Amino acid sequence: MTRTALKLLCIIALLLPAGNIFAQYGYHFGRNKIQYEDFDWQVMKTEHFDIYFYPEMLELAERGAFFAEEAYTELQHKFSFSLNNRVPLIFYSSNLHFKQTNVTSGFIPDGVGGFFEFLKGRVVIPANGNLHRFRRVIRHEMVHVFTYNKLTRVMRDHRRPTDRFLPLWFTEGLAEYWSGKPDDQHEMVIRDALFSNYLVPLESMYRIQGSYVMYKQGEAINRFFSEVYGEEKILEIIDNVWKDRDFRVVLEVTLQDEFEVISQKWLVWLKEQYYPEFQQIELPSIIAGGLSTEGFSAKPNFHRFADGTQKVYFVGNKSGLGNVYEVEVDSDFRPLGEARVLIHGEQSSEFEAFHLFESRISVSKQGLLVFVTKSGGQDVVHVFDLVEDRMEKTYRFDDLVAIYSPSWSPDSKQITFTAITRNGFTDLYLFSRETAELQQLTSDIYDDRDPSWSPDGERIAFSSDRTSLGVDGHYNIFTYDVKDGNIRYVTFGEQTDLSPTWSPSGKQLAYISTRRDSTGRYTAQNIWSVDMSHEVTLPDVSATSTSEPSPQVPTWRRTTRLTSLSSASMDPYWADDDHIIFTSFEGISFSIRQISKVDSLLKAPKQVVTANLSGIGRPWTYERLEIGVDAELAAYKPKYNLDIAQGIVSQNSVLGTTGGAVLAFSDMLGDDYLYLTLLNTGTGSRDFLRDLSLQLSRFKLNNRANIGYGIYRYSGRRYDVTDPDAPIAFPVFFETVYGGYGLVSYPLSKFSRVELMTSLNWTRKDIQLRRGDREALLLSNSVALVRDNALYWMNGPISGWRGSLSAGYTSDVLYSNVSYFSVMLDVRKYFRIANNVTFASWGMARINEGREARLFVLGGSWDLRGFNWFDVRGQKMWFTSHELRFPLINAPTILLPILAPFGVAHLRGTLFFDAAHAWNKDYDELRPEIRSGETVGSAGFGLRVNLFGAFVMRWDMGYRYRKGFTERDKIFRQFFFGWDF
Amino acid sequence: MGLLKMSQKLNISRFLLFVLFWTGCQTIQFERPNIVTDSDWLVDGYTQNRSRSTSDGLALPLEVAWEYNAAAAFGPGSPLILNGVVLIGTNKGEVHSIELATGRKRGFKNFGDGIEAPLAISEGFMYVASAWGKRVLTAFDLKKATFLWKNGGTPIESGFVVTDGLIIAADVQGMVHAFDQKTGEEQWKIELGDRVSVQSSLLLIQNKGVFVVDDAGRASLLNILDGSVLWSRQLSGPVYEGASSIGSSIAVSTTRGTVEVLDSDDGSAKWIYHSTNSSVRFGATAISENLVVVGATDGVVRAFLVENGVEKWSTQLPDVVVAAPLIEKNVVYVGSLGRKLYAFDLQDGTTRWETTLKGRIKSAMAISEGGLLVLSEPRNVTYFKTAVGLKDASN
């Protein structure tokens, strides 16, 4: 966001080149996207790709190169198409590095697997420790690349405009479908949609636009097209897009069925597959007691205090922000109240993100809670003392980028966890709190995750794709022997076994498992348990994968399925002998639940399967394209390519016609931007050169400190209400400015930054209505401290706060006519009264003091309502605004479906009160023409509605007050667009 | 005032001239469209069995003689040639006529929405099918430059057969229609199956019937007179690309990694080639007396013996091949989606010549008057002729 803010700041700076650009809008809010790493980018050139990577992740990049070429070959068949341009693939070794990419200016949340960007055709993908997943994401994004190119070609072939896109559900569904077999996540969502009865029909897919459910339903629809109508029909759909703007018509033409029939057939097709299971399934909400069933909750753990108090801890997001919660439970694990926030997250640099669905938490017998958060450019491990209710220690490991799922040793002296280094591979680590030593337990390409220490302290159970079946994305359970360092199979088979947890006695190991059934689909993710009570002779697997496995010895373990859930369970934790707490997925909601009488379930399980370990094969690996053999290596040299070339024509009754163009260039990694703007306000060819304005700016974003600089010439008529030289009634004059500027934005954390700005302008104004020519050489410097941790929702911020304190000085270094300083303070606080109700308070004070200081302005829908734009002006001012924001209709489209195509969402109401006072020298010096010297304000009611998720339509009505609120004007109404403050 | 009036008259006359020029361009007309020679290509692939093989020989290497911008891309069929004029249907719905010798535009006419199916000329009439819109089949009098008849119905994307006074065409809903060539009246129709579509051009099998294969892989030989099914056979996969035929052999490629050569007498498979990768989609075929040549999405161009399916040679290209190859005396021409045009030795597949075009080649080619006509993206018609002074000694 700092980049966006920076660019915005620069653009505004250049639109107001004369004098103190700092005077009116010298600060901008927003969080900071920080470049923590100094990536040494290199380029690997394969047959079809330019792969951008950094040396630490060379092995991953070579494997990714193989995956990309492999995907290219397969997609050539599916699309019957070749790409005629090389595809830029930008790899990051981990999600935390990926979050720093400048290819997109937006923030990348956890869980985003990669993206395809249309402008330069770039594909950006992090590996994050799971090669199978990495391979699948590369395929997914390559499907997008092929789809986009194919679609563009079809439209151009038929001379149709290329602005016609396929529906998102189709393209994302296709990318999922053609990137591999439906995985366990697909089954989880589709089963839930069917058994919780929220499956969205084809005609209403817009309702789940952009959601994870849309991806998975889209995948199911594409699979339905393929299996019922034929695989080739999918390509035919793309081939037929030119025929009609309405995608329903395209489907009808291609599939030769009415749209409603297609939709109905899809529902029937799905139900026929899943509904036979109805008799066997158990809904979590019926069979498992709920401990936290609101919002998203996951990764439960448990502690029994010395006084007998029992509490369940978990990570959750109930209000838009991730936190650690606690809920007290009785002996039967029934909640004794509402869950409360133990550790607030996502609003401070210490706890930026909890990796809600990726990282487990652990509580030691002594009551120490260990958990992981993102803090700066890496993950850190926190230890919180639950008994003392205080943060005890935070551990930061320089070599570890990402850390997941810490687990205590029984004596609370050691912590084991999964971590990713800069090479992008996941391994197990052991940290001794006594010696502060970090020991790497595994070192290979396999994804080792979810470690759990046995009660006797001798073994660490974990899940890994190091199983010989891992090449197909399967995971089995293993143990790491703490004494001899050997790894041993616990389960084996074509399944996904995750999240092991030991029973208190250490005789059982519960875990989550899903496996493909006879139909080839994954089953529900159920809780299983494996008998660990007896020693078995198991083959050892080296922790480094460099040596061969030990000789095969046939052996087995008994595994039992404890649940028959409808969709998915996750993160089981064996709280006591008779209770397992876990995360359940039901009704698109993740809840914390518990199953009791575990002993009975073990005695009468739903299913018993013997894990046959005799078939264990050899370690697997994926191929790679080696640099120097299959690919060439080149250093990355930034090269500017045109991003946007846009003409500008504007017509203004005051300033006349303005014409021009903007050209934007950037490099492949988005680290370096060049902007060239040309404008002309001349009315004839004679005035062309006189009225020519141009600016050239450069922004460099590849370091933590973002810098921007540029030069400009501005010449033309200006309308400037803040200029003290301009006539109050009609502040228009001709001005020529030559200048340059420089700015630095240094983020202190994700939430705060320091901004420095300087500019030097030579200006000549021709003010015909007043004093004639006026020249100045203005030097302006400013510094600002900005903080923003506000949480945004559809119409604006709903919690947190943001503020800015800035100071600056402007002087005429040539003629000494201008000399003034500026101080501004702006604080906005959002009190979340209820989940959907926010009380927002805004306070602002601004001072320009000195010779020929500029005026500040207020008025309009965005600040002082009831007054026209720039109605209130003064060199000093205070302003306050307070709003109560509340919901009216959450989904207007349901009441009026005709609104759906307009993306109308979240009709909200607001009660507001605004007050302001502007003045120049004397606080009470009344100047009616600029409404200074009196306290003015307004109060009333407003409506807000979001359009397309991008615009907020604002409508306000109320009374306007003047003269210290002693006089009330008639009712005003205002309509405009813009977010809430 | 006088000057003003003169100026106005001048402008009006300029305008009228422009209108006349424009409307003149906006048509296609031939003096004697009935008179055809051996060098004319009246249907896609030269003959209605679409063998895509010719005894014409071109001396290599070739060079660009001219290039023409047709304003839109093309369907999978080849251009037609009549009286030294090239006729091409475009995806924009226009038919362009271009002088073969010079590449100069003679005219163009809009026939509605996108044209995917190749055109056909018979007895002075041109038949145009549309892939979308209200009018899906049109008969155009090339001499009078007027429409003879227009038929509505289901769009047609595959090439049709003109024989015995009938136009036989298959639509995208799997219905085969026979229309009277002169009146457009439907003479018979037959449904190939439920929810099937025909993408592959129909073939005229001399003295036997019309061969049609749908996108479900059902191949049939129909009686020309009444549309009755003479034989029918389920192939090993859906068929989307053009088939070709010579003698009693019909070469068909599928989207599931197979190429089949059928006996046109009874539809039995003479042989089936199975690629090791069943996801390979084979392109349109070309067939000569000895060889079947076909490209594929794996970039391999394969030549099989017609007789037994033995692979005589294969050549790996870097890009997908979907367009029908063109077999001439000693050389087979292949266009790829990698913008490349290749000439391979027909006997051993060695590359004799290659060149790069501006865009992908997705359409069949034509040879006439010592030159090669190639259609490519984005909207180019390129005519290649033997490079002066650079003739390939081996040719």
Which of A563, A591, A615 delimits the end of a domain? A615
What is the tens place of the pLDDT at every residue in B292-336? 999 999 999 999 999 999 999 999 999 999 999 999 989 999 999
Residues A209 and A305 in one domain: no
Mean pLDDT (whole number) for A663-670? 96
Q: Give A13's pLDDT tier (boundaries 50, 70, 90).
A: very low
The partner residue sitting opposite B320, judged by closest CB among A82, A231, A257, is A82
Mean pLDDT (whole number) for A842-861? 93
Q: Give A619's pLDDT tier (boundaries 50, 70, 90).
A: confident
Share of chain B above pLDDT 70, in %: 92
Classify strands A42-45 and A49-53 as parallel, antiparallel or unpaired: antiparallel
Task: Say whether pLDDT at A548 is over 50.
Answer: no
Interface test with A, best of B132, B171, B194, B258 (most A CBs within 10 A): B132
> Domains (ranges, CATH) in chain B?
28-385 (2.130.10.10)
What is the tens place of the pLDDT at every residue in A223-275? 999 999 999 999 999 999 999 999 999 999 999 999 999 999 999 999 999 99
Question: Min CA distance, A244 vs chain B (Å)?
Answer: 9
Which of A163, A190, A218 delimits the end of a domain? A163
Task: Say whether pLDDT at B20 is over 60.
Answer: no
Say what the pLDDT of residue A652 is: 67
Q: What's A204's DSSP letter?
A: G
Task: Say whether pLDDT at A7 is over 80.
Answer: no
Say what the pLDDT of residue A907 is: 87
Query: Phi and psi (nearest 5°) for A660?
Result: 175, -165
Residues A324 and A419 in one domain: yes
Q: Is residue A91 part of a domain?
A: yes
Whether B216 sits inside 8 A of A78 (CB atoms) is no
Mean pLDDT (whole number) for A861-869? 91
Mean pLDDT (whole number) for A74-85? 96
Task: Say whether pLDDT at A12 is over 80.
Answer: no
Cβ neighbours of B91 in A, within 8 Å: 157-159, 242
Whether B92 sits inside 8 A of A158 (CB atoms) is yes
What is the tens place of the pLDDT at every residue in B142-170? 999 999 999 999 999 999 999 999 999 99
Q: Is residue A86 part of a domain?
A: yes
Residues A447 and A559 in one domain: yes
Say what the pLDDT of residue A542 is: 57
Q: Does B214 contact A at CB distance below 8 Å?
A: no
Q: Is residue A432 part of a domain?
A: yes
Residues A365 and A241 in one domain: no
Quote the number of domains for chain A.
4
- Check which CATH number belongs to the domain holding A530 and give it: 2.120.10.30
What is the tens place of the pLDDT at every residue in A203-213? 999 889 899 99
Q: Give A19's pLDDT tier (boundaries 50, 70, 90).
A: very low
Task: Say whether pLDDT at A22 is over 50.
Answer: no
Rounded CA gap, B131 and B74, in Å?
12
Say what the pLDDT of residue B1 is: 46
Task: Say whether pLDDT at A10 is over 60.
Answer: no
CA nearest A250 in B: which residue?
B132
Residues A442 and A563 in one domain: yes
What is the tens place of the pLDDT at every residue in B355-376? 999 999 999 999 988 999 999 9
Sheet of B340-345, strand order: B326-327, B331-335, B340-345, B351-356
Mean pLDDT (whole number) for B269-287? 97
Bridge partners for B263 per DSSP: B249
H or E segment to which residue B386 belongs: strand B380-386
Q: How many CB atoms lie within 10 A of CB A729?
A: 8
Q: Which of A205-219, A532-546, B129-143 has the lowest mean pLDDT?
A: A532-546
- Count contacts between A and B (CB, < 8 Å): 73
Task: Say whether pLDDT at A459 is over 60.
Answer: yes
Mean pLDDT (whole number) for A819-838? 94
Burial of B366 by CB count in 10 Å (0-12 exposed, 13-18 middle, 19+ buried)?
buried
Q: Is residue A840 part of a domain?
A: no
Which of A253, A279, A305 delimits the end of a domain? A279
Residues A138 and A202 in one domain: no
Say what the pLDDT of residue A685 is: 73
Burial of A18 by CB count in 10 Å (0-12 exposed, 13-18 middle, 19+ buried)?
buried
Tell me which residues of chain A, numbers 153 to 182, contact chain B at a CB-CB cutoff of 8 Å: 153, 156-159
**Contact residues for A185 (Cβ-Cβ < 8 A; gap 6+):** A216
Q: Is residue A331 part of a domain?
A: yes
Q: Are B392 and B62 in contact (CB under 8 A)?
A: no
Q: Give A552's pLDDT tier (boundaries 50, 70, 90).
A: very low
* Cα of A890 vs its chain's centroid, Å: 23
- Regarding predicted confidence, which is higher, A970 or A593? A593
Mean pLDDT (whole number) for A60-83? 97
Residues A496 and A446 in one domain: yes
- Regarding predicted confidence, which is higher, A688 or B9? A688
Say what the pLDDT of residue B395 is: 37
Q: Are A476 and A446 in contact (CB under 8 A)?
A: no
Task: Say whether pLDDT at B111 is over 50.
Answer: yes
Whether A80 sits inside 8 A of B277 (CB atoms) is no
Q: Are B46 and B52 in contact (CB under 8 A)?
A: yes
Say what the pLDDT of residue B18 is: 61
Q: Kindly report whether the peptide bond that precedes residue B318 is cis, defined as omega within 30 degrees of 0.
A: no
Task: Say whether pLDDT at B16 is over 70.
Answer: no
* Structure tokens that stand for A49 in this block: 């790709």
Q: Give A24's pLDDT tier (boundaries 50, 70, 90).
A: very low
- Check which CATH number belongs to the domain holding A115 and give it: 3.40.30.160
Rounded CA gap, A821 and A813, in Å?
14
Of chain A, the end-to-end C-alpha distance in Å amounts to: 17
Mean pLDDT (whole number) for A114-131? 94
Residues A949 and A961 in one domain: yes
Rounded CA gap, B29 and A473, in Å?
64
Q: Is residue A808 part of a domain?
A: no
Residues A193 and A312 in one domain: no
* Cα of A857 vs its chain's centroid, Å: 35
* Structure tokens that stand for A625 in this block: 């394209």
Domain extent at residue A522: 297-615
- Regarding predicted confidence, which is higher, B17 or B361? B361
Q: Is residue A424 part of a domain?
A: yes
Residue listed under structure tokens 């995208």: B172
Cβ neighbours of A230 in B, within 8 Å: 215-216, 238
Q: Is residue A788 part of a domain?
A: no
Q: Does B340 contact A at CB distance below 8 Å?
A: no
Task: Say whether pLDDT at A939 is over 80.
Answer: yes
Rounded CA gap, A936 and A972, in Å?
14
- Regarding predicted confidence, which is higher, A616 or A584? A584
Residues A176 and A214 in one domain: yes
Share of chain A above pLDDT 70, in %: 93
Task: Say whether pLDDT at A40 is over 70.
Answer: yes
Q: Are A468 and A616 in contact (CB under 8 A)?
A: yes
What is the tens place of the pLDDT at every residue in A280-315? 899 999 999 999 998 899 999 999 999 999 999 999
Task: Say whether pLDDT at B394 is over 60.
Answer: no
What is the tens place of the pLDDT at every residue in B44-101? 999 999 999 998 789 999 999 999 999 999 999 999 999 999 999 999 999 999 999 9
Rounded CA gap, A449 and A465, in Å?
9
Residues A459 and A605 in one domain: yes
CA nearest B295 in A: which residue?
A80
Q: Kindly report whether the peptide bond that precedes residue B61 is cis, defined as omega within 30 degrees of 0.
A: yes
Mean pLDDT (whole number) for A960-970? 94
Whether A81 sits inside 8 A of B131 (CB atoms) is no
Q: What's A917's DSSP letter?
A: E
What is the tens place of the pLDDT at every residue in A366-383? 999 999 999 999 999 999
The beta-strand segments (E) located in B1-129 are: 62-69, 80-82, 85-89, 94-99, 105-110, 120-122, 125-129
The overall average pLDDT reported for chain A is 90
Q: Give A844's pLDDT tier (boundaries 50, 70, 90).
A: very high
Bridge partners for A791 per DSSP: A799
Residues A120 and A174 in one domain: no
Q: Which amino acid is at A835?
A: N
Interface test with A, best of B337, B340, B377 (most A CBs within 10 A): B337
Say what the pLDDT of residue B92 is: 95
- Regarding predicted confidence, which is higher, B323 or A734? B323
**Contact residues for A264 (Cβ-Cβ < 8 A; gap 6+):** none
Share of chain B above pLDDT 90, in %: 85
Task: Say whether pLDDT at B271 is over 70.
Answer: yes
Question: Min CA distance, B279 vs chain A (Å)?
Answer: 6
Rounded CA gap, A63 and B10, in Å?
72
